[in-house]
């Protein structure tokens, strides 16, 4: 058996140069006649953004991981490590890498970064498609009961019980039914579905086979945004390989059940993550939501009963069928069972994908896998949970267990799993404005509360950010938020005010500073920043002098820098680079 060289080649790895690294490995192995001993395996991203990640796996030897590998490093790895058996300590993944993975419980992500996603044989070696074979020997009702018993809830954000959803569609009377995978991942900072599709596409295909059999569907659609070209490519290849193996098509696995899949590429509209808008898009219509009821389980795609689950939900199915509902339900917290994948981004030391049991606290993720704040001199301020429709929570809520009910009580939502960590440099008024500007741009405009109400809220937030805020603006934002929540047509509008409501609830002092004092405590809102250097905070590091594009900062050795306001263009480059927030 050959030793293996795993090279992480998802979108993250490829953008960091993984293709060139792989070519260089091949060249260097040939140079030392090692090509017969080592096999290069192109795997998906593992989750930690220290690309390019390279693993050397030799029989009966310790697995060695190298991080941030560049082409220039490859000759040294091949010569010193592979040829002479000497590890390259400067490149070896250290304690941060170990800390990132130490507390994770990887179920959905278990194959990501471990197998070649374009080789069905490697998936089969990991017991791939065994759950589907097992399921086709069960009665559909037995499968649904197993999923219900497991406690699996939709990982797309709403958290609706998956088994119950399947049951509704199973009981719907129709000669034609559809199962749909929602891979329209649109939250800024979220990339869970993309990584699963790029690193383990067969797990989604297998989950859809089981789901289709359970509800009585013979055709399925995977709705994936076109901005995920690598995911689409690997999905298409996985579907083709499954067809060749007779895992898709007529009489799959030698049974009487026939099922096939089609990939539908979306144009990237955030609103198409909503079920009825997604269905409209597949049908070739404009992606706008429709009132419910009727629900898709009764009248969905082409007017037929349809079941929609997101990528992470479907990737869990094979594990539940394989290991049983009791195993899955033993993981998690209260009514939230199993694990959840979170995308950690922002001002945290280790960014990437983390899969942890439901009920894990925010603190455990940020200071466990996340490794704490990237700059220890600038402390934590807030965490944004649930993407543009989520909420901003302060450190006082850090010990909140992450489950659907607990997070909802804070005013935020679980969402699909986006988690943005913010430090004291982040202005919460500006964050609310940013996320609201996103939902305003992504609103389909079909209903007045969303089309007009969100726009009016954004205008008020812009006035506050520019120093023209009034005390009555806060009441207006609260009242308009509640009106939109109560009357908007779909989930986009219903949840869009969350960032505004949570920032007012937990960071009202910042709004008051903007309105009453005409100042921005985080030094973000340009109109409210004086652009003066506070000598009591300044450490004379000179970084502001280095980045100033107009030469507005004078610096003499061992003296405090002096800011020339006539030259200053308020670009905020000095604020962004100052490690102690001395620019005010």
Ranges of each domain in the chain = 3-96, 127-329, 333-423, 428-517, 530-584
Cis ω for the linkage preceding 243 (within 30 of 0): no
**Model pTM above 0.85:** yes
Point out which residues pair with 420 in neighbouring strands.
Answer: 345, 384
Q: Which of 373, 368, 383 is nearest to 349 (CA)?
A: 373
Q: Model confidence over 213-242: pLDDT tens digits? A: 999 999 999 999 999 999 999 999 999 999
pLDDT in tens, 338-393: 999 999 999 999 999 999 999 999 999 999 999 999 888 888 999 999 888 889 99
pLDDT digits (tens, 9 = 90+) for 273-284: 899 999 999 999
Tell me the backbone φ, ψ of residue 249, rounded to 5 degrees: 115, -150
What CATH class is the domain 428-517?
A: mainly alpha
pLDDT tens per residue, range 9-30: 999 999 999 999 999 999 999 9
Q: CA of 483: how far to CAs of 436, 454, 478, in Å?
A: 16, 10, 9
pLDDT at 412 over 80: yes
Q: SS in 3 state form for 532-568?
A: CECCCCCCCCCHHHHHCCCCCEECCCCCCCEECCCCC
Predicted pLDDT at 315: 98
The CA distance from 48 to 352, in Å, is 5
Confidence bin at 577 (pLDDT 50/70/90)? confident
Of 338, 312, 339, 311, residue with least CA distance to 325: 338
381 close to 426: Cβ distance less than 8 angstroms: yes
The pLDDT of residue 99 is above 80: yes
CA–CA distance, 219 with 215 (Å, rounded to integer): 11
The fold of 333-423 is Ubiquitin-like (UB roll) (3.10.20)
Q: Which residue has the higher pLDDT, 578 or 325?
A: 325
The pLDDT assigned to 39 comes to: 95
- Supply the pLDDT for residue 3: 93
Fold of 3-96: Glutaredoxin (3.40.30)
Q: Kindly state the tokens that stand for 450.
A: 């969303």
Q: Domain 127-329: which CATH class?
A: alpha beta
The SS3 call for residue 191 is coil
Given CATH 3.30.70.20, say whether it is the number of domain 530-584.
yes
């Amino acid at each position: 058996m050959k030793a293996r060289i795993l090279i992480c080649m998802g979108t993250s790895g490829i953008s960091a140069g993984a293709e060139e690294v792989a070519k260089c490995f091949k060249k260097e192995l040939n140079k030392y006649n090692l090509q017969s001993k080592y096999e290069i395996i192109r795997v998906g991203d593992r989750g930690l953004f220290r690309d390019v990640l390279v693993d050397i796996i030799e029989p009966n030897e310790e697995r060695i991981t190298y991080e941030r590998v560049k082409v220039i490093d490859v000759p040294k790895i091949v010569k010193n490590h592979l040829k002479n058996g000497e590890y390259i300590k400067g490149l070896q993944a250290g304690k941060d890498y170990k800390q990132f993975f130490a507390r994770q419980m990887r179920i959905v992500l278990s194959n990501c970064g471990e197998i070649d996603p374009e080789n069905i044989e490697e998936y089969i070696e990991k017991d791939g498609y065994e759950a589907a074979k097992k399921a086709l020997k069960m009665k559909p009702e037995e499968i649904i009961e197993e999923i219900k018993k497991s406690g699996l809830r939709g990982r797309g954000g709403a958290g609706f019980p998956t088994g119950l959803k399947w049951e509704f569609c199973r009981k719907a009377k129709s000669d034609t039914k559809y199962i749909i995978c929602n891979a329209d991942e649109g939250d800024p900072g979220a990339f869970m579905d993309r990584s699963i599709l790029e690193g383990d596409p067969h797990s989604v295909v297998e989950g859809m086979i089981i789901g289709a059999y359970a509800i009585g569907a013979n055709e399925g659609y995977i709705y994936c945004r076109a901005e995920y070209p690598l995911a689409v490519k690997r999905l298409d290849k996985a579907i083709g390989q499954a067809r060749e193996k007779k895992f898709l098509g007529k009489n799959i696995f030698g049974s009487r059940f026939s099922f096939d899949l089609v990939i539908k590429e979306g144009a990237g509209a955030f609103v198409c993550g909503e079920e009825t808008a997604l269905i409209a898009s597949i049908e070739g219509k404009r992606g706008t939501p429709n009132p419910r009821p009727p629900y898709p389980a009764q009248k969905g795609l082409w007017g037929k009963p349809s079941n929609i689950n997101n990528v992470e939900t479907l990737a869990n199915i094979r594990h539940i069928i394989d290991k049983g509902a009791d195993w899955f339900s033993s993981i998690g917290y209260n009514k939230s069972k199993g694990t959840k994948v979170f995308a950690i981004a922002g001002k945290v030391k280790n960014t990437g994908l983390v899969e942890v049991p439901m009920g894990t606290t925010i603190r455990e993720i940020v200071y466990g896998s996340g490794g704490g704040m990237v700059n220890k001199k600038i402390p934590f301020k807030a965490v944004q949970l649930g993407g543009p429709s989520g909420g901003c929570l302060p450190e006082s809520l850090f010990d909140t267990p992450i489950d659907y009910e607990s997070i909802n009580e804070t005013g935020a939502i679980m969402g699909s799993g986006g988690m943005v960590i913010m430090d004291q440099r982040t202005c919460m008024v500006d964050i609310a404005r940013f996320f609201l500007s996103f939902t305003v741009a992504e609103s389909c405009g079909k209903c007045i509360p969303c089309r007009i109400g969100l726009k009016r809220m954004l205008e008020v937030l812009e006035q506050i950010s520019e120093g023209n805020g009034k005390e009555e603006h806060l009441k207006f934002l609260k009242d308009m938020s509640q009106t939109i929540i109560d009357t908007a047509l779909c989930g986009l509008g219903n949840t869009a005010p969350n960032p505004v409501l949570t920032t007012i609830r937990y960071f009202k002092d910042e709004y008051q500073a903007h309105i009453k004092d005409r100042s921005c405590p985080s030094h973000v809102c340009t109109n409210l920043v004086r652009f003066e250097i506070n000598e009591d905070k300044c450490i004379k590091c000179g970084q502001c002098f280095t980045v100033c594009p107009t030469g507005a900062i004078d610096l003499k050795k061992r003296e405090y820098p002096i800011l020339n306001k006539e030259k200053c263009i308020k670009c905020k480059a000095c604020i962004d680079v100052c490690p102690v927030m001395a620019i005010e």
